[in-house]
Amino acid sequence: MRHFKQSFIKCIRLYPVLALSLLAIIYLLGGFNTERAPVLPRFLLTGTLYLLVGVVPVVAIAGFITLSITEDRSRARGQRQLENLPQEDPFELAYEKMCGFKVVAITGESPIFTGITGDNYSSDDSAKCQQSPDHVPPVSNCECGFYAYKSRSDAEFELTMHPGLFLINVDLFGLGFAHKYGYRAESQRVNSVTIPRRCMRCKTLPAKIFVKSYKLGYGDGTWWQWSIRCLLCSKKVKAENTLTMSQMGQSLQVSIE
């Protein structure tokens, strides 16, 4: 289902390019010219327009609704399976090296990792359960713990859904659960941060320097969020709000790639 969802979303992203290309072809074939007969029958040209404007968006909406319902049902089944597991018997992955990939924001006046759910953590940290402080994550009938994808491609696709975040490589330790796409474990060490080649602002020039700006954060608070920009887009930023790649690596205690 996950791979189908990724393929579906990639197809949707191609829709604007396909639509503009078809409109350009229709224009070149005289579809918008009322003074002379078009090369192709006009009903074919107008039918293509109806398809682009009406049918494709409806199919896309129906597809997203279907995916949402399917994921909700799958999540509910997974939760019921977790509830049927004995709480005191999570399986230990002592002989399996748990390493993977995930996406994070870099936040704070002093840089720190912030997950998609809003939890802050350092480069070498142990998970804490926000719902039940007495838990030592991961617990079988709870969602606490550090998560990571096994596949880099899955994490890279997740990154496309969250502009402004970074891809990190992690090792997971302690007790852990494995599923088809990744792990959930007790503790985590961040090995490296992969930065985009292009500036996060102009999307054109090479990324050179980390810049922090005040952003609306998770919940009711606000925080500083770091992005990486080119020299031109960071030219007017105050020096105290910038870090070089080496400085960011030292601050986070990880390598920057």
Tell me the three state secondary structure of residue 153.
Answer: helix
Q: Which domain holds residue 14?
A: 2-84
pLDDT category at 235 given cuts 50, 70, 90 is very high
102 and 212 assigned to the same domain: yes
166 and 247 assigned to the same domain: yes
120 and 175 assigned to the same domain: yes
Mean pLDDT computed over every residue of the chain: 80
Q: Which of 38, 62, 84 delimits the end of a domain?
A: 84
What pLDDT digit, counting tens, does each position of 104-160 carry? 999 988 999 999 888 899 999 999 888 887 878 888 778 888 999 999 988 988 888
24 and 148 assigned to the same domain: no
What pLDDT digit, counting tens, does each position of 19-68 carry? 788 777 777 776 666 666 666 676 777 777 777 777 778 878 887 787 77
Element (H, E) at 100: strand 98-107
Total-model pTM = 0.68
- Choice between 46 and 177, residue whose per-residue pLDDT is larger: 177
Q: Which of 84, 101, 125 delimits the end of a domain?
A: 84
Task: Indicate the length of the chain as a whole number.
Answer: 257
Residue 83 has pLDDT above 80, yes or no: no
Q: What's the structural domain count of the chain?
A: 2
134 and 232 assigned to the same domain: yes
Share of the chain above pLDDT 90, in %: 35
183 and 226 assigned to the same domain: yes
